[in-house]
A = this chain, B = another copy of it.
Amino acid sequence: MDELINKIKNSIHLRPEAEEFLYSISKEITLPQGEVLIRQGQVVKRTFFVTEGCLRSYCIDKNGKEHTLLFAIKDWWISDYIAIHTDELATLTVECLTKSKVIEFNAKELDGIHIHFPEFESYQRHNLERHVVSLHKRILNQLQLSAPERYDLFLKQYPKIEQHTRNYHIASYLGITQQSLSRIRVEKAKK
Q: A residues bordering B, Cβ < 8 Å? A: 59, 61, 65, 67-69, 81-82, 85-86, 91-92, 114, 118, 121-122, 124-125, 128-133, 135-140, 142-144, 172, 175
Interface contact A132-B132, CB-CB below 8 Å:
yes
Task: Tell me the nearest residue of chain B to A61, going by C-beta.
Answer: B144
Q: Which residues of B contact A65 (CB under 8 A)?
A: 144
**Chain A binding surface, main DSSP class:** helix
Q: How far is it, in angstroms, between the C-alpha of A81 and the C-alpha of B125 when the chains are bound?
A: 14
With A129-B128, A130-B85 given, is the CB distance from A139 to B143 under 8 Å? Answer: no
Interface contact A139-B142, CB-CB below 8 Å:
yes
Q: Enumerate 23 A-B pairs (CB-CB under 8 Å) in ascending A order.
A: A59-B144, A67-B140, A67-B144, A69-B136, A69-B140, A69-B143, A81-B132, A81-B133, A81-B136, A82-B133, A85-B129, A114-B121, A114-B122, A118-B118, A125-B125, A125-B128, A128-B132, A131-B132, A132-B132, A132-B135, A139-B142, A142-B175, A143-B172
Min CB distance A144 to B, Å, is: 4
Q: How far is it, in angstroms, between the C-alpha of A15 and the C-alpha of B58 when the chains are bound?
A: 43
Task: Tell me the nearest residue of chain B to A124, going by C-beta.
Answer: B125
Q: How far is it, in angstroms, between the C-alpha of A61 and the C-alpha of B141 when the chains are bound?
A: 10
Task: Tell me the nearest residue of chain B to A129, going by C-beta.
Answer: B85
Q: Which residues of B contact A144 (CB under 8 A)?
A: 59, 61, 65, 67
Min CB distance A61 to B, Å, is: 4
